[in-house]
């Protein structure tokens, strides 16, 4: 069941202007409610604008459709409940959880020895982090991401396979749904500005990747070393800041079973002020991940 919510073009222009300035969507909703708009309608309108901008589709003109799903955007989390999660060969404590959006901080995902081994394997394969330029379709150095990175192929050796299996158990999705494990290195001064991990269908490569494997649904970030200062993972919409503790991880979900995308998972990495930062990332898809190429990279925006 759905309801059409109409709004004036002036309100649409006001939303675009404030979103362009970086205003928080939650603050815009509060302002609209303060002007007398029903809370559900205000939330539905702002959600529609934020999602349209994030996925680069046409903005609403004078109406949005408000469905019953808007009352419960948050399906039961994919991650299992409980204070500890059984991850195959390891029991992992859940240190913090949030339902809206779905966020969690996990402890002891990797041992100190595993963190060191992952860094050692990744170091000789590092390259400047890139994204796919939607205009040219070419991989370009990412201005917003001043890190170095590399990808392992899924289960490319016994060690990586053990980690892939453990992580898939934590994320409660089949191992085959996972993209290859990525390792990023942030030297002093490096950062990654706020972004979404779900794929934005703004170019042919992302559209083809979604057609092959479905949307990304969840992320696990595992911290591999102690950062002297800085390098925190921030979620500006959710109000979370997570310090990088070796072996610990941050988990979040952003695509529910109805395909709705959660823009509350906007996140970034603060600049490393002293020392360096190493992190491993696993992205899970709706179904089996099928890369476009055969070298562990599918040429899509990351």
Q: What is the pLDDT of residues 232-271, one digit of tens each?
A: 999 998 999 999 999 999 999 999 877 778 888 999 999 9
Q: What percentage of the chain reaches a pLDDT higher than 90?
A: 61
The DSSP secondary structure of the chain, one letter per residue, reads -EEEEE--HHHHHHHHHHHHTT--HHHHHHHHHHTT--HHHHHHHHHHHHHHHHHT-PPPSSEEEEEGGGGG--PSPSSPPSSEEE-SS-EEEEEEEETTTTEEEES-SS-HHHHHHHHHHHGGG-EE-EEE-TTT--EEE-TTB--EEEEPPTT-SHHHHHHHHHHHHHHTS-GGGBPPPEEEEE-TT--EEEE-SSPP--SHHHHHHHHHH--EEEEEEEE-S--SEE--EEETTTTEEE---TT-EEEEE-B-TT--B-GGG-EEEPPEEES-EEEEEEEEESS----SSSSS------
Is pTM beyond 0.85? Reply is no
Work out the average pLDDT over 141-170: 89
**167 contacts 220 by C-beta, under 8 angstroms:** yes
Least confident of 24-28, 218-222, 273-277, 281-285: 24-28
More confident residue, 260 or 153: 153
How many other CB atoms sit within 10 Å of the CB of residue 9?
Answer: 9
**Is pLDDT above 50 for 125?**
yes
Q: What is the pLDDT of residues 88-109, one digit of tens each?
A: 899 999 999 999 899 999 999 9
pLDDT of residue 75: 76
pLDDT classification of 294: cutoffs 50, 70, 90:
very low
Work out the average pLDDT over 57-76: 74
pLDDT of residue 158: 98
pLDDT of residue 257: 78
pLDDT classification of 280: cutoffs 50, 70, 90:
very high
């Amino acid at each position: 069941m759905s309801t059409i919510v109409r709004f004036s073009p002036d309100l649409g222009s006001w939303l675009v202007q404030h979103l362009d300035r970086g205003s928080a969507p939650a603050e815009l909703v509060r302002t609209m409610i303060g002007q007398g708009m029903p809370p559900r309608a205000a939330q539905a309108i702002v959600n529609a604008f934020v999602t349209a901008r994030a996925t680069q589709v046409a903005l609403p003109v004078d109406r949005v459709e408000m469905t019953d799903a808007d009352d419960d955007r948050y399906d039961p989390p994919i991650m299992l409940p409980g204070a500890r999660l059984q991850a195959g060969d390891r029991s992992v404590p859940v240190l913090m959880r949030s339902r809206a959006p779905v966020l969690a901080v996990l402890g002891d995902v990797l041992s100190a020895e595993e963190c060191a081994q992952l860094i050692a394997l990744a170091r000789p394969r590092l390259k400047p982090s890139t994204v796919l330029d939607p205009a040219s379709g070419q991989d370009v150095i990412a201005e917003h991401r001043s890190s170095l990175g590399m990808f392992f192929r899924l289960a490319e050796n016994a060690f990586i396979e053990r980690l892939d299996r453990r992580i898939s158990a934590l994320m409660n999705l089949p191992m085959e749904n996972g993209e290859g494990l990525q390792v990023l290195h942030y030297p002093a001064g490096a950062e990654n500005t706020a972004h979404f991990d779900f794929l934005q269908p703004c170019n042919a490569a992302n559209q083809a990747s979604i057609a092959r494997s479905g949307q990304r649904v969840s992320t696990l970030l595992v911290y591999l070393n102690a950062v002297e200062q800085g390098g925190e993972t921030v979620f500006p919409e959710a109000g979370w800041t997570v310090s990088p503790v070796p072996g610990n991880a941050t988990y979040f979900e952003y695509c529910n079973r109805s395909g709705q995308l959660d823009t509350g998972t906007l996140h970034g990495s603060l600049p490393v002020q002293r020392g360096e930062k190493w992190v491993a990332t696993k992205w899970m898809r709706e179904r089996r991940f099928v890369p476009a190429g055969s070298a562990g990279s599918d040429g899509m925006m990351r």
